[in-house]
């Protein structure tokens, strides 16, 4: 076993090289640092991987496709956006990962997401490589027809780079059932081929039951596994959740199924805090605001006057047992982590991708908080996408119960893999467990191929 000084030196040297090769990509640096810190001792103990330079190869995407998306808005103005598809690694299966439409999308953001996706997908046990794509297009305030024109134009370039055995995109921030429908429609038209080339499709054209619920449900299944492992459960726990999109709303739903009390939600404008708890009826109102009317979370307090709207604030100051960050990257920093810990938080599970900064992660781990990192905790979404691909290939549809049972089994399997590689301290170190388990599978496959 390599000593800690030697590990530290190797991490520093590796990260210096990565920074030099990839300047101005802070999110990508952060995601790699988090992985390399925990994987390096394992890497040094497995010299065959080091000899084959697996870490250097694994941190370089197979390819990045960058293109222009031109479209006309409702006033007839011509617009041009940037778009990318980062095909990171297909050692264990066809590229798989979502598309994000948000003005904050950059190559660095998509490289961090594509990189994390590789390990997440490996953890699911399904044959899926890692990719991510998206555009700096801002869907907010755009009409349905503008969204359609944008999606069609994007697919007019993307279609030549994807395929059911090549690369299978899905949704992410700003990309839900509506956008997937427009993109699938254009793909089908251009290729004259009806295949499962996207996941998250409508139920009428090859979508899977439970896909829309899967990321939020899966995050809570994972939290439940973590608590069960120490003889506890979600029942009776106060839960603080951020975001109010796909992941957050279905996390609330599963917390309610398990007898927990969701207290907060948020969006980019601020947070709502309901001391009485968000129940099923209130959740239906939120889904109507966000999914149907595409409104703001602040509207919640117009209807439920005992709730507070914390304008411009994230919800981490609210006392809780469990925190589920489900909005976006770096939404939970060191100050927020300190506040949560001093308020007695027991468990944090990441529904979003990389929502906690690296020093926040260190603070949780250093204070015996059970911490479920994104690549394990939110893998339910892509796992269910994998199940959608299986159903498409078999040309059958499974019932909601069957898909949900498979999802629960997959989340349990991911938990076991994390325990296998993360045991040793007072608590299971799920960051170490997830990183090493994911790394091992991809590294073994890459080694089998020789120098590729």
- The residues annotated with a catalytic role in the active site are 132
Q: How far apart (Å, rounded) are the C-alpha atoms in residues 167 and 187? A: 13
Q: Is 246 a binder of ligand NDP (CB under 6 A)?
A: yes
Shortest Cβ distance from residue 264 to ligand NDP (Å)?
A: 12
Residue 173 binds ligand NDP (CB under 6 A): yes
366 burial level (CB within 10 Å; 0-12, 13-18, 19+)? exposed
Query: Residue 375's closest CA among 426, 439, 447?
Result: 439
Query: Is 171 near ligand NDP (CB under 6 A)?
Result: yes
Q: In angstroms, give the least distance from the CB of 44 to ligand NDP.
A: 31
State which of residues 172, 179, 267, 321 lies at the interface with ligand 2IT (CB under 6 A): 172
Q: Is residue 382 near ligand 2IT by the rule CB under 6 A?
A: yes
- Residue 9 vs 140, nearer CB to ligand NDP: 140
Q: Which of 186, 224, 266, 353 binds ligand 2IT (CB under 6 A)?
A: 353
How many Cβ atoms are within 10 Å of 72's Cβ, its own excluded? 13
If binding is defined by CB under 6 A, does position 243 make contact with ligand NDP?
yes
- Tell me the C-alpha distance between 338 and 116, whole Å: 25
Cβ of residue 50: shortest distance to ligand 2IT, in angstroms? 29
Residue 327's binding partner out of ligand 2IT, ligand NDP, none, with CB under 5 to 8 Å set by partner kind: ligand NDP
Q: What is the rounded distance in angstroms from the CA atom of residue 71 to the CA atom of residue 38?
A: 44
Reading across the β-sheet that carries 264-267, which strands appear in turn? 264-267, 270-273, 308-311
Cα–Cα distance for residue pair 167/148, rounded to 1 Å: 22
Taking alpha carbons only, the member of 329, 389, 408, 347 closest to residue 115 is 329
Distance CA 437, CA 32 (A): 15
Segment lying near ligand NDP (by CB under 6 A), choices 25-33, 38-46, 299-307, 346-354: 346-354
Please tell me the distance from the alpha carbon of residue 274 to that of residue 267, in angstroms, as a whole number: 15
Quick check: 263 binds ligand NDP (CB under 6 A)? no
Positions in 79-98 near ligand 2IT (CB under 6 A): 96-98
Is residue 378 involved in binding ligand NDP (CB under 6 A)? yes
Quick one: what does residue 218 bind among ligand NDP, ligand 2IT, none, with the CB cut-off 5 to 8 Å set by partner type? none
Among residues 93 and 174, whose Cβ is nearest to ligand NDP?
A: 174
DSSP character at residue 291: I
In whole angstroms, give the CA distance from residue 387 to residue 202.
15
Mutual orientation of helices 400-422 and 211-229 as an angle, nearest 10°? 40
- Taking the complex as a whole, how short is the minimal distance between the CB of residue 352 and ligand NDP, in angstroms? 3
CB 387, min distance to ligand 2IT, A? 10
- Give Cα 370 distance to the centre of its chain: 19
Q: Which residue is nearest to ligand NDP (CB)?
A: 245
* Contact flag: residue 213 with ligand NDP (CB under 6 A): no
Answer with the entry of ligand NDP, ligand 2IT, none that 247 interacts with (C-beta below 5 to 8 A by kind): ligand NDP
Q: What distance lies between CA 165 and its chain's CA centroid?
A: 22
Angle formed by the axes of helices 358-366 and 26-45, nearest 10°? 50
Interface with ligand 2IT (CB under 6 A) = 96-98, 117, 120, 170, 172, 199, 353, 381-382, 385
Residues lying near ligand NDP in the complex (CB under 6 A): 104, 171-174, 215, 243-248, 267-269, 326-328, 351-353, 378, 381
């Amino acid at each position: 076993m390599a000593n800690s000084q030697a590990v530290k030196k190797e991490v520093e040297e590796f990260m210096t090289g990565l920074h030099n090769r990839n300047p101005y990509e802070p999110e990508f640096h952060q995601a790699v640092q988090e992985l390399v810190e925990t994987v390096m001792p394992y890497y040094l103990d497995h010299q065959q991987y080091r000899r084959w330079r697996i870490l250097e190869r694994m941190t370089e995407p197979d390819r990045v496709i960058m293109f222009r998306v031109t479209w006309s808005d409702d006033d007839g103005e011509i617009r041009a956006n940037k778009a990318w598809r980062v095909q990171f690694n297909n050692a264990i299966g066809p590229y798989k990962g979502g598309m994000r439409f948000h003005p904050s999308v950059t190559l660095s953001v998509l490289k961090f997401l594509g990189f994390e996706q590789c390990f997440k997908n490996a953890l699911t046990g399904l044959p899926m490589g890692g990719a991510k794509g998206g555009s700096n297009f801002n869907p907010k305030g755009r009409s349905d027809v503008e969204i359609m024109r944008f999606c069609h134009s994007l697919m007019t370039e993307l279609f030549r780079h994807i395929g059911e055995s090549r690369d299978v995109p899905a949704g992410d921030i700003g990309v839900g059932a509506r956008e997937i429908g427009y993109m699938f429609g254009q793909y089908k038209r251009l290729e004259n081929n009806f295949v499962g080339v996207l996941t998250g499709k409508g139920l009428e054209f090859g979508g899977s039951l439970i896909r829309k619920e899967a990321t939020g449900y899966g995050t809570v299944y994972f939290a439940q596994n973590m608590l069960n492992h120490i003889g506890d459960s979600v029942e009776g726990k106060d839960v603080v959740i951020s975001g109010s999109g796909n992941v957050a709303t279905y996390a609330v739903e599963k917390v309610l199924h398990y007898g927990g009390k969701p207290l907060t939600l948020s969006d980019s404008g601020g947070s709502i805090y309901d001391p009485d708890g968000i129940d099923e009826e209130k959740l239906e109102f939120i889904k109507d605001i966000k999914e149907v009317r595409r409104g703001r979370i602040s509207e919640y307090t117009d209807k439920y006057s005992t709730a507070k709207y914390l304008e411009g604030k994230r919800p981490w100051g609210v006392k809780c047992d469990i925190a589920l960050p489900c909005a976006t990257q770096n939404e939970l920093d060191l100050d927020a982590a300190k506040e949560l810990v001093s308020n007695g938080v027991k468990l944090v599970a990441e529904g979003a991708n990389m929502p906690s900064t690296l020093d926040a992660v260190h603070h949780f781990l250093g204070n015996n908080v059970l911490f479920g990192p994104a690549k394990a905790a939110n893998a339910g979404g892509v796992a269910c996408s994998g199940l959608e691909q299986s159903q498409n290939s078999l040309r059958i549809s499974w019932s909601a119960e069957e898909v949900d049972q498979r999802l629960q089994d997959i989340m349990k399997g991911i938990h076991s893999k994390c325990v296998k590689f993360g045991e040793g301290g007072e608590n299971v170190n799920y960051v170490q467990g997830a990183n090493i388990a994911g790394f091992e599978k991809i590294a073994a496959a890459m080694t089998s191929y020789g120098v590729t």
